[in-house]
Amino acid sequence: MSTYTLVIGNFNTSSWSLRPWLGLKVAAIPFHAETVNLRAPDAKAQILKHSPSGKVPVLLHHGLAIWESLAILEYIAERHPEDQLWPQDEKTRAIARSVCCEMHSGFATLRKNCPMDIMGRPANHEGVDIAKDDIQRIQSLWEECRSRFGKGGPFLFGKFSIADAMYAPVVTRFTTYGVKTSPTVQTYMDAVWSLPAMQEWQDGARAEVLAAIG
């Protein structure tokens, strides 16, 4: 039986929830997902029952509540070293952490103007132009990771790592808003989308959106 409970928000829109959920799924670590509909009037009260920050995701484990997506992924990586959720080489791992921190603390213009909306496909979304500097930085970051560290597989550091979990919501945004990508970036995005766990998350988003329109 799983000892982890991950409290998450909506599949279609909760970008921070997707990150640890994907890490746990790809590493095949059993967990129970408890969802909170962030649009419900009592959403804040529901979250506050578990999370001191009043935000999701939060991981519940043996009486501990661990909040903040990156802290959750770090906790999982420490408890399951055999899953190699960080690159094994010390210097490469340091770069992977930089890449993750840049996502966790940055790209506010992209996050604000191109919010995650997995099932949406708005035409000519003006947010793409507003966020062009963030989009350019992310694409060059992905290209650099792929060329310097990507030899062992299709992900940023070859094998799937926490860096891919952190950027998965950006992959969905680029798809939703039809962002123009280089061939290298497109190939990377295809690899993320072809993860069975991404398909499962997308199925959750589809079901949620269909339920909302009745």
Ligand X SMILES: N[C@@H](CCC(=O)N[C@@H](CS)C(=O)NCC(=O)O)C(=O)O
Q: DSSP class of residue 81? A: G
Q: Which residue lies nearest ligand X, judged by its C-beta?
A: 55
Residue placing its CB nearer to ligand X in the complex, 55 or 146: 55
* Total length of the chain: 214
Q: Is there a contact between 25 and 200 (Cβ–Cβ < 8 Å)?
A: yes
Residue placing its CB nearer to ligand X in the complex, 32 or 44: 44
Shortest Å distance, C-beta 12 to ligand X: 11
CA distances from 189 to 119, 157, 174 (A): 16, 14, 9
Shortest Å distance, C-beta 31 to ligand X: 16
Shortest Å distance, C-beta 30 to ligand X: 21
Residue placing its CB nearer to ligand X in the complex, 10 or 150: 10
Shortest Å distance, C-beta 48 to ligand X: 9
Q: Pairing relation of β-strands 4-8 and 58-61? A: antiparallel
Residue placing its CB nearer to ligand X in the complex, 56 or 118: 56
Shortest Å distance, C-beta 66 to ligand X: 10
Q: Pairing relation of β-strands 64-67 and 58-61? A: antiparallel
Q: DSSP class of residue 75? A: H
Sequential DSSP letters for 91-157: HHHHHHHHHHHHHHH--HHHHHHS---TT---TT-THHHHTHHHHHHHHHHHHHHHHHHGGGSSBTT
Instruction: List the one residue from 5, 35, 37, 38 that touches ligand X (CB under 6 A).
Output: 38
Q: Does 111 bind ligand X (CB under 6 A)?
A: no
Instruction: List the one residue from 22, 26, 59, 68 that touches ligand X (CB under 6 A).
Output: 68
Sheet bearing 58-61, strands edge to edge: 32-35, 4-8, 58-61, 64-67
Which among 169, 103, 178 has a CA at the least distance from the CA of 134? Answer: 103
Q: Does 69 bind ligand X (CB under 6 A)?
A: yes
122-151 positions binding ligand X, by CB under 6 A: none
Shortest Å distance, C-beta 50 to ligand X: 11
Instruction: List the one residue from 39, 44, 79, 180 that touches ligand X (CB under 6 A).
Output: 44
Q: Does 197 bind ligand X (CB under 6 A)?
A: no
Q: Where does this chain bind ligand X (CB under 6 A)? A: 9, 14-17, 38, 44, 54-57, 68-69
